[in-house]
Structure 1
């Protein structure tokens, strides 16, 4: 993908290899062999995620430079203590990060068609939070809350949850007073019914019952509605309204299925209600992505969990400042380990 962009822009390329996965030398040689005419664009090599004494890796650096005729610009160490946003849902940090100081364990339901897992990235910066993936073999006994993430195929994923019996575990968790939050397709899954007949894909099943945790039903008409939204919390139990910025991306309409006194809208965007929550806000969901990137709301929700464990509430973390600090730390490491002068003078040619 990136090579295509480089070709269109007619710019040089730096090839980066992940040492932690193993086979980095063979990967570089093989990739260069397969690039054909694009090989000439590769002007430098970088080894990433190296653990150990880099001096012991020098023979490998010398060998690959001789083998390929391309300069190794540097070897980046494994930086487990620096947290930055993931590039996409395939490389989310929380799947591999262990917080030894965690007091809150939040389970994220593993879905075959899960998407937008970067919605949860900011939990990495919370000092007392550990996210863990939930699959069919997971025990719910030690979970303090559950998040059902978004999915690009809610009907298929709901079917998977039923067949794997994860659905039953989630329902039991909610009946026992458990805290659950759904995002996007996860919101739909928490509802009574999902009707995707207006957006049929390859004649696959397009209707199913949901978990029935929130009294809503989703009907998909195939009309896309997406973009950044600005709004606020409107739930009566959130005494001080919380400003919300997020992103909507959906082809459907999720509406209240039957009026229940216990549930009311959670947010409002441009005068339109979005999401629902019960009076304790232990059961809540929204169609809006990046909801937990709103510092005040994320902390409000985490404090619900903390209170349920009789833990003291914590103050809101300024995520922007935390991220800037981490990006500065990363920049320092790059300067220490990569030959930036060579990159500027011989590759970018400034």
Structure 2
């Protein structure tokens, strides 16, 4: 069996377009009939997904797997770091939480993490026709070069070629590319085969002299210039501001707001709301006034007690109580659900100092954090009280908390996990407060329509998030085919196009 095609996409900065380019290339190679695996050796993100083998990976790698037409697997992201503070993170190896380490302690742990990375790499190379690798941040971070497993440290160990991508919309693109190259070692520089420029707006002819200079200055090829794809919707890897940048807030009839607490996680749960034409959605950041709304959504959190304290300091507790007095609705998802209860206890100090604190007291239940993390993909339906048609829900659970109390006797969802139905979450006695552990609550079209009607929206339009995501992946791949020299990027080793883009499904 011949070795797979390999390419590593590294960026000159965070959010240069690495995740997007890998997703686009994955779809392009799938169109060529290749079995493709995405791979990110080390990811630091609070947006994650549950894999078919019951583990946890970065959400960007789950999206790239979708683009490639393969089932998400823990080998696609063998090391995931989920920050719980500014200097510490939960370390997830091959999909399972193994430790909570400070940045200094993790640096000492890196050889162990690298061994896990190379194990996954070996399995993927044996099973796939092509493996597309995504770097993290920038390879030119001098202070992170020692024991690097995310960028050139991995590229050298695995002997893979590298293409550098830079975001021209930020400005300084030539300085970013040349400067990054200059800060690499001689062997690392030799590994960089060329460049991709991302998010260009305007007349490409006015850029050509710069491209010519860049190729002459570095001796490397510019494989193409990707245009700024306005309104492109892809699941965000982590940064909330970047996730919201290209999707304008709606001007619809239903007003929805959500807080941006410091350790917000899986904020992609709210993408369906942001994209709905009848929803006027707004994130509310620190120091911002909390506007009137029909629905308040409390998203997930990696540090629930600390984020609840932040919520109170920002005035959200009083705002939520006032909102409910005036007939508004509240939804809490995962950590946001836990905040709605009477107490939050972390006796083992899994997310911070050991201890407990009072919740918002809106649901009669108590939550205790435990070592074992619940990780599963789920399907079910909304409770009959929410929707008499029992609208379908499809999502996933990622949580360490266990909740108990009378509130759970009125579940929000009924989950069918193959072993029989089970209840999830809670719906308040007055029907205005809903909590659930299921991420992706709004993703299924039927559930989204039912929940928006519950929140007060009349004549709800159907919105299919999965269909929109698929269409935008195809749109991205079309742009990659049109604007990049893909065959040259893979040294002329790609097979001919096997399927027309417009027929691809």
* Shorter-chain TM-score tier: 0.7 to 0.9
Hey, what does 1:47 align to over in structure 2?
197
Is the 1:92–1:121 contact (alpha carbons within 8 Å) kept by the matching residues of 2? no
Structure 2, unmatched stretches of 5+, are 1-41, 43-134, 136-150, 496-505
Hey, what does 1:112 align to over in structure 2?
262
Query: Relative to 1, partners in 2 of residues 1:95 and 1:144: Cα closer, same or farther, differing over 3 Å?
Result: farther
Q: Relative to structure 2, which stretch is displaced further, 169-178 or 283-292?
A: 169-178
**Cα-Cα RMSD:** 2.5
1:101 CA displacement: 4.6
Instruction: Tell me if 1:343 matches 2:489.
Output: yes
**Matches of 1:236 and 1:144, distance apart in 2:** 19
Hey, what does 1:10 align to over in structure 2?
159
1:113 CA displacement: 0.8
- Counting only pairs closer than 5 Å after superposition, residues 43-122 of structure 1 correspond to structure 2 as 43-90=193-240, 93-99=243-249, 101-122=251-272
**Matches of 2:156 and 2:297, distance apart in 1:** 41
Is the 2:386–2:451 contact (alpha carbons within 8 Å) kept by the matching residues of 1? no
**Matches of 2:333 and 2:282, distance apart in 1:** 17
Is the 2:443–2:464 contact (alpha carbons within 8 Å) kept by the matching residues of 1? no
1:58 CA displacement: 1.8
Is the 2:256–2:280 contact (alpha carbons within 8 Å) kept by the matching residues of 1? yes
- Counting only pairs closer than 5 Å after superposition, residues 122-141 of structure 1 correspond to structure 2 as 122-141=272-291
Hey, what does 2:475 align to over in structure 1?
329
Is the 1:155–1:205 contact (alpha carbons within 8 Å) kept by the matching residues of 2? no
Structure 1, unmatched stretches of 5+, are none
Hey, what does 1:296 align to over in structure 2?
446
CA deviation map 1:13-63 (0-9, x unaligned): 221111122222222122222332322222121111122222222222122
Instruction: Tell me if 1:199 matches 2:349.
Output: yes
CA deviation map 1:214-272 (0-9, x unaligned): 2221111222221212322234342112232221111121122x459xx8211122433
1:183 CA displacement: 0.9
Partner of residue 277 from structure 1, selected from 409, 427, 446: 427
1:96 CA displacement: 4.9
Hey, what does 1:253 align to over in structure 2?
402
Query: Relative to 1, partners in 2 of residues 1:100 and 1:275: Cα closer, same or farther, differing over 3 Å?
Result: closer
**Matches of 1:221 and 1:132, distance apart in 2:** 33
Is the 1:194–1:219 contact (alpha carbons within 8 Å) kept by the matching residues of 2? yes
**Matches of 2:240 and 2:181, distance apart in 1:** 24
Q: TM-score, normalised by structure 1?
A: 0.87
Instruction: Tell me if 1:314 matches 2:460.
Output: yes
**Matches of 1:205 and 1:197, distance apart in 2:** 5
Is the 2:342–2:358 contact (alpha carbons within 8 Å) kept by the matching residues of 1? yes
1:185 CA displacement: 0.6
**Matches of 1:26 and 1:186, distance apart in 2:** 43
**Matches of 2:252 and 2:157, distance apart in 1:** 46
**Matches of 1:127 and 1:272, distance apart in 2:** 33
Structure 2 SS opposite 1:198: coil
**Matches of 2:171 and 2:364, distance apart in 1:** 49
1:100 CA displacement: 5.5
Instruction: Tell me if 1:227 matches 2:373.
Output: no
User: Alignment length, in residue pairs?
Assistant: 341
Structure 1 SS opposite 2:247: coil
CA deviation map 1:176-223 (0-9, x unaligned): 222221111111112221111133456x26311112222221111222
Is the 1:264–1:277 contact (alpha carbons within 8 Å) kept by the matching residues of 2? yes
Q: Relative to structure 2, which stretch is displaced further, 185-194 or 224-233?
A: 224-233
Hey, what does 1:163 align to over in structure 2?
313
Structure 2 SS opposite 1:345: coil
Is the 2:444–2:464 contact (alpha carbons within 8 Å) kept by the matching residues of 1? no
Q: TM-score, normalised by structure 2?
A: 0.62
**Matches of 1:22 and 1:165, distance apart in 2:** 38
**Matches of 1:299 and 1:187, distance apart in 2:** 21
